[in-house]
Each structure stands twice: as structure tokens, then as C-alpha cells.
A and B are shown apart, each in its own frame.
Chain A
């Protein structure tokens, strides 16, 4: 279940477990770009600044506690800065994916990374600016091509199951509640049996997938027991968990 990480002036960033379904109906390329953008956003943040954001830390604790049971001790009694560093490491290592909500709604990833600046138009005289806007529009909406305008009518547009599902998604995602009190929504069922297409694409069965999960649990247990018995810093433990996650991905054919 996605939990909000942070909302900045532009958009709300949500945290997902790597194996959770996010942007289910988007092409792989787009999902990857969105994940990369989220990764950059997190990498650029200062851990000590985030650690001072009480609500953010609270949400990260909730996310870690819900999804990564081996972080129990950190979640319950870890320092704020350790919690923030852990989520940063996990995003860096791809075990957690951060996606901005406008990317989920089909917004361009490029624009998500670089918010449009007003400067380009504002230095022009109004006529040139209007002309430039018209040119930009002609690129975006070439004449003769259908442009979806007016209220979206899924009943008219839908043909086939995928379109219907897209419509449902658009409805769920597009019901723009104000950022402040919007509830995170869940994209589909997480059961791996629903993910038959991607499993088939990688050529591994559900049984193999669950064996990979079991192996991952064993390795995480090893990391935890090692760190508990021999001590060592958080970084060593995270590096161990990172290796466990890489092994898991290799096992699943990624």
C-alpha cells in the first residue's frame, strides 16, 4: 500500500515497495522513468532536513513497519535521522520506489523533473509570447488529430478490458482531491497471481516466485542475525539487505 513520502510545491511523492504494482497500465518505459525521477528526488534531499520533518518521519516509519518487518526495531526506536537514511538507502537500492502522483496520472516525466518556468515567456513581448504558445500548441496537438476534450466518457471511449481498466484508473486517479487530505490509493491487487503477464514475460512460475521470496526472507534473516550478534553500523546492515534484494531480483529474472 502506497504511503505519502512528501509533498513539495509541485506534487506529491508516494512510496511503494519495489514489487508493488504502481502505474500498472503504463508502459514499462514510463514506469522506469517515473521511478528514476523519484529516485533523483530522494537522492537530492538532505537527510538531516527531512529528519526534522516530524510528519514525514512518521509516515516513513509507518511505511517501513508495514512493509519491511525486519526494520521493526528501527521503526519503533530508531533515531529520526536513521529512519530517513534507511529510506534514502532503500530508494537508492531500488527496494523502495518513489513515484510522483502526476506521473501516475500520465503526466510527462520530463515536466515532472523540471517544473515549467515562466521565465521563457515572460521576457517576451505579449504578441511574441502568444505566437510561441500557438506554436507549442501545434506541436502538442497537431491539426487533424483527435484531441480528447470535454468530460471523459468512459462508456463511449471504452473498448475492451484494458480501456475499461484504464477508465477505472483515470477515475480513481483523476478525482483530484486536494493534496492535503487525499488518501493514497492502491493500484490493483498485489497478489502475484494477478501479475501473470509480467511473470510470463520473465519466464518464471508462481512457485518459483514464491521460492525467491522465501530465499529473500532467509537472507534478510541472516543479515538481521549477523548485525544483532556482531553489531556493526547501519550502513553494513543496509548493504547486506541490499545484496539480499539484488539476489532476490536475480532470482526473479530481473
Chain B
């Protein structure tokens, strides 16, 4: 079983594709220690369902979209449901 894992998403401007990499968390731990780690607002014990996945995906796309205008132009995400 893989234990030492961090998942990284990047956008490739040359091919306009999203890419992911499963890298060693240990290899970036130094950077993580210095970085600001933001909590994803999901309960620690609750189930992670399709809606959780949708939000997490939307978060990643929005963040990457801010850095890559071509990706941003392609984003077609629904806004937060009211309430």
C-alpha cells in the first residue's frame, strides 16, 4: 500500500490539459511546513459523497483557473446553492 503520498494538480498551458501527479509527500514536506495549509470544510468523521467530490473538484479548478486564463475561460461551474 502506498503511504507516502501527496496529490498535485497542474495545468499544462502547452496542451491545455489538466494533469495530476502522485508524488512523495516527504519530498514536499519542507515546503508544506512553511506553507499555509487551509482546512477543507468537511467534517472529520462524516461521509465524503459526490457533493464533497464536486466541491473539491470545483475548488481545484477555480484555483488553477486563476493562474491560467485559458482554463478559466473554460470553467462552467454552478454557483453555490443558496443557503
Residues of A that sit less than 8 Å from B by CB: 215, 219, 221-223, 225-226, 228-232, 240, 243-244, 247
User: Cβ of B36 and Cβ of A230 under 8 Å apart?
Assistant: no
Considering only CB atoms, which chain A residue lies closest to B62 in the complex? A225
User: Cβ of A228 and Cβ of B36 under 8 Å apart?
Assistant: no
Identify which of residues 26-71 in chain B touch chain A, using a CB-to-CB cut-off of 8 Å.
35-36, 38, 40-41, 55, 58-59, 62-63, 66-67
User: Cβ of B36 and Cβ of A222 under 8 Å apart?
Assistant: yes
User: Cβ of B63 and Cβ of A222 under 8 Å apart?
Assistant: yes
Q: Please provide the 8 A-B residue pairs with the shortest distance between their CB atoms, ordered closest to farther.
A: A225-B62, A229-B59, A247-B36, A230-B41, A219-B36, A225-B63, A229-B58, A231-B80
User: Cβ of A225 and Cβ of B36 under 8 Å apart?
Assistant: no
Interface residues in B, total, Cβ within 8 A? 13
| Interchain CA distance A136-B36 in the complex, whole Å | 53
The interface residues of chain A lying within 8 Å CB-to-CB of B67 are 221
| Interchain CA distance A232-B41 in the complex, whole Å | 9
Given contacts A221-B63, A221-B66, contact A226 B80 (CB under 8 A): no
| Distance (whole angstroms) from the CB of B80 to the closest CB of chain A | 5
| Distance (whole angstroms) from the CB of A68 to the closest CB of chain B | 15
| Interchain CA distance A228-B41 in the complex, whole Å | 12
The interface residues of chain B lying within 8 Å CB-to-CB of A219 are 36, 38
| Distance (whole angstroms) from the CB of B57 to the closest CB of chain A | 9
The interface residues of chain A lying within 8 Å CB-to-CB of B55 are 229-230
User: Cβ of B38 and Cβ of A226 under 8 Å apart?
Assistant: yes
| Distance (whole angstroms) from the CB of A106 to the closest CB of chain B | 38
| Interchain CA distance A224-B63 in the complex, whole Å | 9
Considering only CB atoms, which chain A residue lies closest to B81 in the complex? A231
Considering only CB atoms, which chain A residue lies closest to B39 in the complex? A226
User: Cβ of B36 and Cβ of A243 under 8 Å apart?
Assistant: yes
User: Cβ of A244 and Cβ of B36 under 8 Å apart?
Assistant: yes
The interface residues of chain B lying within 8 Å CB-to-CB of A226 are 38, 40-41, 59
A-B contact pairs, 16 of them (CB 8 A): A219-B36, A219-B38, A221-B66, A222-B38, A225-B59, A225-B62, A226-B38, A226-B40, A226-B59, A229-B62, A230-B41, A230-B59, A240-B38, A243-B36, A244-B36, A247-B36
| Interchain CA distance A102-B38 in the complex, whole Å | 41
The interface residues of chain B lying within 8 Å CB-to-CB of A243 are 36
| Distance (whole angstroms) from the CB of A24 to the closest CB of chain B | 30
| Distance (whole angstroms) from the CB of A234 to the closest CB of chain B | 14
The interface residues of chain A lying within 8 Å CB-to-CB of B59 are 225-226, 229-230
The interface residues of chain A lying within 8 Å CB-to-CB of B58 are 229
Given contacts A221-B63, A221-B66, A222-B63, contact A229 B36 (CB under 8 A): no
| Interchain CA distance A195-B36 in the complex, whole Å | 27
| Interchain CA distance A193-B35 in the complex, whole Å | 26
The interface residues of chain A lying within 8 Å CB-to-CB of B66 are 221, 225
| Interchain CA distance A219-B40 in the complex, whole Å | 14
The interface residues of chain B lying within 8 Å CB-to-CB of A244 are 36
| Distance (whole angstroms) from the CB of B8 to the closest CB of chain A | 14
| Interchain CA distance A107-B59 in the complex, whole Å | 49
